[in-house]
Amino acid sequence: MKQTDGFSVSLRPRRSFSWRLRFAAALTALFAVLGILLLMAGASTLLGRPPALGNLNDSTTDASVLLVLGVVLLWGGVLGWRKARRRMRQRRADMAMSPHLMKKRD
């Protein structure tokens, strides 16, 4: 293939990542970690271990609420993190190569 003016098909411009998407990914990862911690605290109380959060989860109903809240936060955090990562990795359509010529990474 003849190259003119230093143009190379294999080189594509790098897309600068938005700080907003990076912040959203970090925030949703923190939600997932908080969900794991709440899930573990609720499960430990339900399994008969001493309460991990003091008076916050003394009864089984409080522990089950913490367990459900932890599952919801974990689920929402993982989904939000995946969505933010997917949006950060979107390809630009201006100088992209044909999809069948590129390596399969995802």
pTM of the predicted structure, to 2 decimals:
0.66
Structural domain span for residue 72: 19-90
pLDDT of residue 4: 57
3-state secondary structure 77-89: HHHHHHHHHHHHC
Q: Does residue 100 lie within any of the structural domains?
A: no
Q: Does residue 103 lie within any of the structural domains?
A: no
- Give me the tens of pLDDT residue by residue for the chain, a chain 106 residues long: 555 565 555 555 555 667 888 899 999 999 999 999 999 988 888 888 766 667 766 778 888 888 999 999 999 999 999 998 888 877 554 455 566 666 666 5
Q: Does residue 11 lie within any of the structural domains?
A: no
Q: Does residue 46 lie within any of the structural domains?
A: yes
Q: What is the DSSP string of 3-32?
A: --TT--TT--PPPPPPHHHHHHHHHHHHHH
Q: Does residue 95 lie within any of the structural domains?
A: no
Q: Does residue 75 lie within any of the structural domains?
A: yes
Q: What totals of helices (H) and strands (E) does the chain contain, helices first?
A: 2, 0
Q: Are 73 and 28 in contact (CB under 8 A)?
A: no
pLDDT of residue 78: 95
How many domains is the chain partitioned into structurally? 1
